[in-house]
Structure 1
Amino acid sequence: MTTVLIKKATIIDKNSSFHNQTVDIKIENGIIIEIAKNIASENNIEVIEKENLHVSQGWFDSSVSFGEPGYEDRETIANGLQVAAKSGFTAIALQPNSFPVIDNQSQVKFVLDKAKNQATTLFPIGALTKNSEGTDLAELFDMKNAGAIAFGDYNKAIQDANIQKIALQYVQDFNGLVISFCQDYSLKGKGIVNEGIASTKLGLKGIPALAEELHIARNLFLLEYTGGKLHIPTISTQKSIQLIKEAKAKGLQVTCSVSVHHLVLNEEILSGFDSRYKVTPPLRDEVTRKALIEAVINGTIDCITSDHNPLDIEHKKLEFDLAKDGTIGLESAFGALLTVLPLEVVIEKLTAAKKIFEIEENKIEINTKAELSFFNPDGEEIFTKENILSKSKNSAFLQQKTKGKVYGIYNNKKLIINN
């Protein structure tokens, strides 16, 4: 398919001269060749017409786990990228938590090879330490050359301050980005939920907010000492917001993300001991959830991630304290976010991570690469099993209200539209 005509699409792209205009968009060989009020359709053109069609720059998810290699029963790269495309994402950053861990250039090349010829582009994150064990730095420079866009151990915090320091110093030689999940394990102990009234009521061991905050404070001190660039994923406490805000005011190159589930859900949902809500970091209280939303709106939190983490039923459908942490999130991300944030903020925060990870941003203009997400921001539905496209079904959003509808994407000269 070479030519696609998108009819009556409202463009949501603050960087585009067509922002908030309803227009037709003509794409030829992956390039936007015309944007106008009415473009006539010709033979051999695929025409896309959808109810209340909106279009934005392609969305990028900065934290996605699949499984392959090693855990293909959870998710394969091919199906995972199809899920991402149908969920509106034109690009994803793949976490290194496969088996083996993506900690060398051959593993980076393997996942890139598996992701060829897909509509959604895969960008690998290399592990920061060998086997993500936190003791020795992995082959960072080699992985960068092979195509890794950043380095971090997924949901594992570097406990050794010196390793963290050396990593921040080392990657500066090639303008690398360090991703540091923050949690002090000695303070976390055997905790599995947020420490507070809910954990006491439920009789579950709590993880204090301090476990995250102390680690963030340490890493920001190290960043101030070393220089370089640091990305702190999935922050979840009020003090974390404050610490990052202060670090940015000092001029430190620090960015952060928050997960969709921390913006939409709170710890009160744990009352039924349903392990689908067991995530890392844990769901916090309602006051904190509102503070995270405020930090998204005021710009302290740079981007939003689905933190998509498929897990097989054997590891998830267990007693709460035995179940693995994690929820799938690609399919529900857009619809769940619209229940708590305005549309323009949602679009901005689903595209903002491109700048952080230095990925090309394709604004919606004539003669630019067509990398587009299609959606309808109106309407409501309940998220059910029928909405899940992933191989794994561990969604924290089952039976939750969502807003709007994702129609699909156009990227890499490929059109993916949901039925």
Structure 2
Amino acid sequence: MILIKNARIICASSEHHMKQMDILIRDGIIENIASSIENDNAQVIEQENLHVSIGWFDSSVSFGEPGFEERQTMKNGLQVAATSGFTHIMLNPNNQPNPQDASGINYLKSISSGSPVTVLPVGNFSLSQEGAHLAELYDMHQAGAVSFYDYKHSVENANLLKVGLQYVKPFKGIIQSFPQDAQIAGKGMINEDQAGTELGLKTIPTFAEELRVARDIELARYTGSHLHIPTVTTNAALLLIDKARESGVQITCSVAIHHFTTASDALLDYNTNFKVQPPLRDVEETKKVLDHVKNGLVDMITSDHIPLTIESKDVEFDQADYGSTGLESAFGMANEALGTEQSIELLTGGYAVFQKELPKLEKGSPANLTFFDPSESYVLSKQQLSSTSKNSLFIGRNLKGKVLGTYNNQKLQWNERNS
């Protein structure tokens, strides 16, 4: 048994929202929620300014295992996710071999069992992510794949995406399409703006994203199937998605936290940690995306966590790999930019989009919880990162709010630094 004392509940769907309550958990079930609970046999969780919400959901997480264990093992990655407040993560097909049949999905589920973090595997959309032939979508769905995605690869074959959307519609499968036209993007690495000009690197115009999103909207409209656009970065693309939804198109989207908190001028010292995909946009575009996040145009926010080795980043800019870690900074950056209640809403939006039952913070429900203190401010340092790879673009940034722990799958993670 676990007794959580004097915790402020942040859960808009709960009758206890914004109230200070005690919570008693027995065998993974919330047995009682009351203003005061006493139980001599329970493990007591008590912390100054303790807040609790339903467990957070990250829709875009990459580890290394299998194939790239030097980036991040499953064990380290799940520990990082748990200590960062996430009880559910969607694991991208960004390893080797990528899951493209039922056995690949089953393997990922088997090596991630026994954790307070529930892993929801994402399978390849096309075989080997080459965009020529569909992977075994139905078999992966039956095995537990939550979505299908050629991770960070544009689906250039519009007919293949159309056929895929038609194929998954009967079993309500969800396909993700990376929002970038590969031919327009070409060999560009950063956004086409003043910073790009000063850096002298090959650039990508924003309309590479808008053009692809516009095409994909029409394919979703034609098929009537659910299409998810991950990590959208431009004002125009978000407006297109919003207009499409209003007209009845079944389309959802996410925005990576760095795309509404960090602009392309951060690249001016050639720090490769800021080399991400899609690229960081200019200050004006970044502010517009932040406004859209605040105004409800976005279904969820994501860390878009991509661990990379020193050898992948400590090279010349045009040779460096794309990506930044983000799990450990996700809440602190989101809370600083959006405030606590909206951050929690957007960090839990993935349940509805990806058809997972929304956890309940009420008596009799399975306990799926995140514990945090939203008020503590600090500067993120490399030493604070427990991820194997330290390629975070948020090192040196001011964060607000610290995660205290998680509870899920009848397992408690209580962060040692707060004991």
Match of 1:213 among 202, 210, 214: 210
Match of 2:287 among 284, 287, 290: 290
d(CA) in 2 for partners of 1:235, 1:100: 27
d(CA) in 2 for partners of 1:291, 1:283: 13
Residue in 1 aligned with 2:79? 82
Match of 1:129 among 109, 126, 130: 126
Q: Secondary structure at the match of 1:34?
A: strand
Question: Which is worse superposed, 386-395 or 247-256?
Answer: 386-395
Match of 1:279 among 272, 276, 279: 276
Residue in 2 aligned with 1:323? 320
Match of 1:94 among 91, 95, 101: 91
Q: How many positions carry a matched residue from both structures?
A: 416
Question: Which is worse superposed, 381-390 or 23-32?
Answer: 381-390
Match of 2:16 among 15, 18, 37: 18
Q: Alpha-carbon deviation of 1:76?
A: 1.2
Give unmatched runs, 5+ long, in structure 1. Answer: none
1:346 aligns with 2:343: yes
Q: Alpha-carbon deviation of 1:41?
A: 3.2
d(CA) in 1 for partners of 2:113, 2:221: 39
Residue in 2 aligned with 1:167? 164
1:188 aligns with 2:185: yes
CA deviations over 1:104-141 (Å, ceiling 9, x no partner):
11110000000111110000011100111111100000
Residue in 2 aligned with 1:244? 241
Residue in 1 aligned with 2:311? 314
d(CA) in 1 for partners of 2:302, 2:386: 18
Q: Alpha-carbon deviation of 1:155?
A: 0.6
Residue in 2 aligned with 1:368? 365
CA deviations over 1:38-79 (Å, ceiling 9, x no partner):
111313x11001110000010000000001110111111121
Residue in 2 aligned with 1:5? 3
Q: What is the identity, as a one-letter code, of the residue corresponding to 2:199?
A: L
Residue in 2 aligned with 1:405? 402
- TM-score normalised by length of structure 1: 0.98
d(CA) in 1 for partners of 2:206, 2:100: 30
Q: Alpha-carbon deviation of 1:338?
A: 1.4
- TM-score normalised by length of structure 2: 0.98
CA deviations over 1:270-297 (Å, ceiling 9, x no partner):
1110000000000001111111111112
1:385 aligns with 2:382: yes
CA deviations over 1:12-58 (Å, ceiling 9, x no partner):
00000000000100000000001111111313x11001110000010
Q: Alpha-carbon deviation of 1:94?
A: 0.3
Q: Alpha-carbon deviation of 1:193?
A: 0.5
d(CA) in 2 for partners of 1:13, 1:290: 27
Q: Secondary structure at the match of 2:160?
A: helix
CA contact (8 A) 2:221 2:250 kept: no
1:41 aligns with 2:14: no
Give unmatched runs, 5+ long, in structure 2. Answer: none
d(CA) in 2 for partners of 1:289, 1:353: 22
Task: Give the fraction of aligned pairs with identical amino acids, expressed as a percent.
Answer: 48
Q: What is the identity, as a one-letter code, of the residue corresponding to 1:311?
A: L
d(CA) in 1 for partners of 2:235, 2:295: 14
d(CA) in 2 for partners of 1:208, 1:78: 39
Residue in 1 aligned with 2:54? 57
Q: Secondary structure at the match of 1:321?
A: helix
Match of 2:197 among 188, 191, 200: 200
Q: What is the identity, as a one-letter code, of the residue corresponding to 2:24?
A: K
Match of 2:138 among 125, 132, 141: 141
Q: Alpha-carbon deviation of 1:226?
A: 1.1
